[in-house]
Copies of this chain bind each other. A is one copy, B any other.
Amino acid sequence: MIIIMERGAAQENINKVVELLKQNEFKTKVNVGDLYTVIEGFGDKTTLTPGRIAALDGVKEVKTIREPYRLASRDRKEEDTVIGFSNGVKIGGDNRPVAMVGPCSVEEDYDGLLKVALAAKEMGCEFLRGGAFKPRTSPYDFQGLEEKALKYLKKASEETGLLTVTEIMDAGDLELICDYVDVLQIGARNVQNFKLLKAVGKCSRPVILKRGLSSTIQEFLLAAEHIMYNGNSQVILCERGIRSFDSTFTRNVMDIAAVPVIKKYSHLPVIVDPSHGTGQRYLIEPMAKAGLVVGADGVMIEVHHDPEHASSDGKQSLPIPLFKEVMNRINCLTDRLHYDKNCLSVNIE
């Protein structure tokens, strides 16, 4: 840690910082400048957190050197994490990017879901996604079919061989959901619901963790750290748009650069969700491609058999015929992608 003292900090306050560092077995160096004194401390931040020092009188700023996440960091694990499934599908590393598609919410009409699943299968997608428990900004919106939706997902999975993904909103539903689906999803609004992170950290299912609307990349990786710290290292990060000052044309701003940034600092797989990232049907294709070309390990796309009657988020869903066209072009791009590890870049062959 580097501790910058306030201009003209009293010697007594400088001494207090040094003492506290020494009490916690930190090695310390004090550099007295014209105006500012800078103290360096090397030691174990689990015994003495930066916040403790920041609270001391006369301390202007405490700067840490090492990133605060550990298990999620490439400092700890150099090689890419690859998450494998029983049917041979793999996410991360040098594997072909995957596609997760399906309706925002699973609805009463099972046939509609099956149509989407069959189209997904036909287009070579690996995962069927659909909400059973829905986080809704307004209590007046559709809240999800709950267990019935889980049963539908499982049934569609059995009929098509697709793996399944659904969002978990409450630790209490964990066992139920694990009975039915292959991958759990933590939504953007729950990225700092630490009880939920802890709960999924204790189970053995892979978890897709969506970036919060205002999560910094560091906070996002720390949220992943909560899951990993509790025992589950199968975390897939998902960039799905952040909040900005302009929401006239797109719901959120997709932070495409977050993909190569995260891949530089973390070994975890990263996917992108252009449906939520933009909220606009016509932007799904270009933004999925943008994600893939910078190295995403997969895309998540909302597809509905009848978006005009969708109970949620129809505006950002592709109808099945358009989905097939779009997925065809995405597959065409994916076929040509070649990830070059040495220069952290994704190339077109």
Q: Which residues of B contact A253 (CB under 8 A)?
A: 242, 244, 253, 255, 257
Among A93-101, A110-118, A202-210, A304-312, the stretch that binds chain B is A304-312
Among A120-128, A147-155, A169-177, the stretch that binds chain B is A169-177
Complex: how many Å from CA A348 to CA B330?
9
Interface 1/0s, chain A 307-349, versus B by CB < 8 A? 1111011110100000001100100110010000001111110
Of B141, B170, B218, the residue contacting A248 (CB under 8 A) is: B218
Q: Which residues of B contact A137 (CB under 8 A)?
A: 192, 219, 222
Interchain nearest-CB distance for A343 vs B (Å) = 7
Q: Which residues of B contact A283 (CB under 8 A)?
A: 257, 260-261
Of B56, B195, B256, B344, the residue contacting A282 (CB under 8 A) is: B344
- A36 in the interface (beta carbon within 8 A): yes
Q: Which residues of B contact A326 (CB under 8 A)?
A: 345
Evaluate contact between B282 and A289: CB separation under 8 angstroms.
no
Evaluate contact between A315 and B54: CB separation under 8 angstroms.
yes
Evaluate contact between A38 and B40: CB separation under 8 angstroms.
yes
Copies of this chain assembled into the complex: 4
Evaluate contact between A244 and B245: CB separation under 8 angstroms.
yes
Evaluate contact between A336 and B315: CB separation under 8 angstroms.
no
Considering only residues 153-177 of chain A, those with a C-beta below 8 Å from chain B are: 169-172
- A77 in the interface (beta carbon within 8 A): no
Evaluate contact between A51 and B243: CB separation under 8 angstroms.
no
Evaluate contact between A217 and B194: CB separation under 8 angstroms.
no
Q: Which residues of B contact A257 (CB under 8 A)?
A: 250, 253-254, 277-278, 283, 286-287
- A267 in the interface (beta carbon within 8 A): no
Of B194, B213, B256, B286, the residue contacting A136 (CB under 8 A) is: B194
Measured as residues with beta carbon below 8 angstroms from the partner, the interface class of chain A is 35 or more
The closest CB in chain B to the CB of A227 belongs to: B139
Complex: how many Å from CA A100 to CA B65?
36
The closest CB in chain B to the CB of A291 belongs to: B290
- A55 in the interface (beta carbon within 8 A): yes
Q: List 20 A-B contacts (CB under 8 A).
A: A29-B29, A35-B66, A38-B40, A38-B65, A46-B140, A52-B308, A55-B308, A137-B219, A169-B195, A214-B243, A218-B248, A242-B244, A242-B245, A245-B245, A253-B255, A257-B278, A257-B287, A261-B283, A282-B344, A336-B336
By a beta-carbon cutoff of 8 Å, the part of chain A in contact with chain B is 2, 4, 7, 16, 20, 29, 31, 33, 35-36, 38, 40, 42, 45-46, 49, 51-52, 54-57, 63, 65-66, 68-70, 74-75, 135-141, 169-172, 189-190, 192-195, 212-214, 216-219, 222, 225-226, 229-230, 242-250, 253-257, 259-261, 264-265, 277-278, 282-283, 285-287, 289-291, 293-295, 307-310, 312-315, 317, 325-326, 329, 332-333, 336, 343-348
